[in-house]
Amino acid sequence: MIDVEDLIALVRNYNPRCNADLIRRAYAYGGKMHEGQTRKSGEPYFTHPVSVAAILTEQRLDDATIVTALLHDTIEDTRSTYTDITRDFGEEVAELVDGVTKLTNLQLGSAQSQQAENFRKLFMAMSKDLRVILVKLADRLHNMRTIRSMKPEKQAQKARETMEIFAPLAGRMGMQWMREELEDLSFKVLNPEARNSIIRRFLTLQRETGDVVHKITGDIRHELEKAQIEADVFGRAKKPYSIWRKMQEKDLAFSRLSDIYGFRVICGSVADCYRILGVIHQRWRAVPGRFKDYVSQPKTNGYRSIHTTVSGRDGKRVEVQIRTREMHEVAEAGVAAHWSYREGVRAQNPFAVDPAKWVASLTERLDEEDHDEFLENVKLEMYSDQVFCFTPKGDVVQLPRGATPLDFAYAIHTRIGNGTVSAKIDGIRVPLWTRLKNGQSVEIITAEGQRPQASWIDIVTTGRAKAAIRRSLREEDRGRFVKLGIELARAAFDHVGKKATDKALRTAAKMMGLADENDLLARVGSAEITARRVVEALYPELVLAQAEEVDAKRPVVGMATEESVRRAPCCQPLPGERIVGITYRGQGVVMHAIDCPALEEFETQTERWVDLHWKSGRHAAVHTVSLDLTISNDSGVLGRICTLIGEQKANISDLRFTDRKPDFYRLIVDVDLRDVEHLHMVMTALEAETDVAQISRHRDLSRKP
C-alpha cells in the first residue's frame, strides 16, 4: 500500500502548493475508520481508497478530489457520518463523499425501469459536481484491476455493468485511456478465450513481421525531421477488446483486419498539426473515408485531434492521430482537465470543456422524458460517434452517426423539426430517412400547419428528436383522449353507484403511479387503461360485489343443458383463459385450456370438439390449480408461504413435497382460485418472497381425463 508521504509526493509532482496536512489527516482518518476491515483478497480494506486516490493523481486532480477518494467509503462502510466528515474536512469534501456514496448504492445493472430511474439519478449527481463521477470511475477501475478475488458470478455481473455503463461513460467524458482499460478488464472476465486468442495472434504476428510499431514510428520521425518539424511520436498496438469489436462489427478474421496499430504525433501548435498531416499524406497514401478533423470541429467533451488512416509499411493500414500538447492533455483527461493542476495552479487549458455545459447537454431533457425514453437516449448519446453537417448559412450542427435530416431539423429548433416537410442535401431533395455524412450541407423545408407523424419516431436517432416528436404526438391527441376518458370514467363510476369526482380521479391516479387526473383520463381515453380498472383501484370489493355470481356447476356457455362439464386435471383451466371442450363417452364434456398438449391426440377427431366460453361475471374460488414451488429449507418459510396465499384470499386444498435437499424443498401446492387474474395475484405475491427460488404452474399430463 502507498504510504501517505508517497501519496503526497505524487500530488506535489503537479501541485507543489497542495494542502499536505489535509491529505495526511484524511489518510489517517480513513485508515482508522476502515481498521479491521479486509477486501475479498484478504488485504486491508484501506488499500482500496488509497489506490483510488493514486489513480486520480494521474489526472492531476485537486486536493478535494484526492481527499474524497481516501474517504469515499467511510460513510457507507464505517461508523463515520456526513456530519463527521463536514466537521473534520469541510462541506465541499462531505458533499463529494456523500455523492459517491449515493452513486455506489445505485443498482445500475438492475431491471429496465429501475435502471432508467437510477441513470437519471446518476446524471443528476453528475450535474451537481462532476468530480463525484471521476472518483466513482477511479473506484470502478481499481475494483476491476483486482476483480479476480471475487466469486465468478460476481465478476461477470461487475464486468457486464462496467462494459455497458462505466466504460462508455468514461469515453463520453473524453477519458479514452480509462475507457479502453475498463473495456479490456471486462473483456478479460467475460470472454477470456477470445482475448487470449487475440494476444496469441499478436505474438505470432510480431515473430513474423518484427516490431512494426518501432519501424513505423521511426519512419514518421524521419519524415518530420526532413520537414524540420519538432514533434513527439508514439505508437502502440490497439487493445484486444478494440480489435475484437472491429472483428465483430466488420465480420472479419484477425488476418484480414488492417488497422490494428495506432500512432500519435504530438506537436507545439495547430499550424504544425496541419503541416504534419501534409507530410504524412505526401509520404503515404491516405485511405479514403478515414479522415476526421476534430481540431476544427471538436467533440462535445473537448476532444480535439486530426485522425487519418494511411497505408504504411508493407501496405499495412495504420491510424495516425495528430494533436498539440494542450489538446493531448484534454484527450487524456477529458472533462477532468477542467480541474487539472500544474505548478500549484489550476491549469488554464483553452481546450478544456466547461463541465457544467457538458453535463447540461446530457441532462437538458431530464424532466421532459419518461424513464424508458431517458435510458434509451442516454445510451444513444454515450455510445454514438459523430458527424458534422452544415446549415445553408455555414453553421455547424453536430449529430451522432446515423442521424437523418429530421435529427438535423430538431437539433436547430423543435419548432423547425415539428414543421419539417422535406429536406435537401447539397442542393438535392432527399427522403427524410436519408443518413447524413460528414461535411454535407443540409437545408430543411418547413410548412405552416405541418405536425410530426408517428412514423418519424423510427426515422430519427437522437434523443432530442425522439422526445420532441413523442411530446408533440401526445399533446395533439391528449385533448381528444381526455374528453373521451371523462365519458368512459363517468359511465364506469355510475355503474357502481359512485361519482367520478376530481378528487376520486386524483386519488386513483396517485394509486396507479400517474402524474394527475388528466394523465389518467388521457390514458383511459386512449385505451391504455380501462375505466373499470380505475374503479377497481378505488373500490375493489364494490366492483367484485357488482358482478353477478356465476353458478359453479354451470360456469361455461356452449353446451346443451343436459350435458355435464368438468375441468381437465392435466391443464386445470381457469376463468379468463381460452378453453375448448372434448366429449368423452359416459363422461360428458371435459374442458381443456386451448394450449393444453393433451389436445394433440384429438386433432383428427374434430367431431368431439365443443366450442366453450367462460360465463362473464364473478366466479367462486373453487377452481383448483397446482403450483410448483422451490423454497429455502429454513425455519418459518413454509408458514410464510401459506400466509401469503391466504392474504390473497386463496385457499390451500392440498400440499405435497416432491424433493427435499439440505438447502431447499420442492413441493406442489393445490390452491383454490376464482380466475386467471386471481392466479396472477397469488403468483406475484409468492415471486416477491425472497425465500421462493422458483414458482411455476404445475401441469401433469399423466392426469389425463
Cite the active site residues: 76-77
Distance of CA 134 to the CA centre of its chain: 19
* Rounded Cα distance, 465 and 459, in Å: 10
The set of cell numbers assigned to 226 is 526532413
- Three-state SS at 632: strand
Q: Which of 96, 106, 177 is nearest to 135 (CA)?
A: 96
Place of cell 495504420: 318
Report CA torsion sign: 144, 147, 152, 157. negative
Cβ neighbours of residue 533 closer than 8 Å, sequence gap 6 or more: none
What are the backbone dihedrals phi and psi of residue 516, each rounded to the nearest 5 degrees, phi first? -160, -175
Using the 8-state DSSP alphabet, how is residue 664 labeled?
Answer: E
* Rounded Cα distance, 336 and 331, in Å: 10
In order of 421, 426, 443, 444, the CA distances from 391 in angstroms are 17, 10, 6, 9
Rg (the chain; Cα; Å): 33
- Name the region of 30 (left: φ>0; alpha: ψ -120 to 50; beta: rest): alpha
The set of cell numbers assigned to 609 is 370438439
Helices (H) then strands (E): counts for the chain: 28, 23
Q: Report H helices in 263-324.
A: 270-283
What are the backbone dihedrals phi and psi of residue 670, each rounded to the nearest 5 degrees, phi first? -90, 125
Distance of CA 362 to the CA centre of its chain: 15
β-pairing verdict for 285-286 and 692-697: unpaired
What are the backbone dihedrals phi and psi of residue 439, each rounded to the nearest 5 degrees, phi first? 85, 0
Place of cell 367520478: 500
Place of cell 353458478: 551
The set of cell numbers assigned to 298 is 471538436
The DSSP string of 549-614 is BPPTTS-EESS-TT--EEE-TTT---TTS-EEEEEETTTEEEEEETT-GGGGGGTT-GGGEE--EE
The set of cell numbers assigned to 69 is 477518494
The DSSP string of 128-192 is H-THHHHHHHHHHHHHHHTGGGS-HHHHHHHHHHIIIIIHHHHHHTT-HHHHHHHHHHHHHHH-H
The set of cell numbers assigned to 540 is 375493489
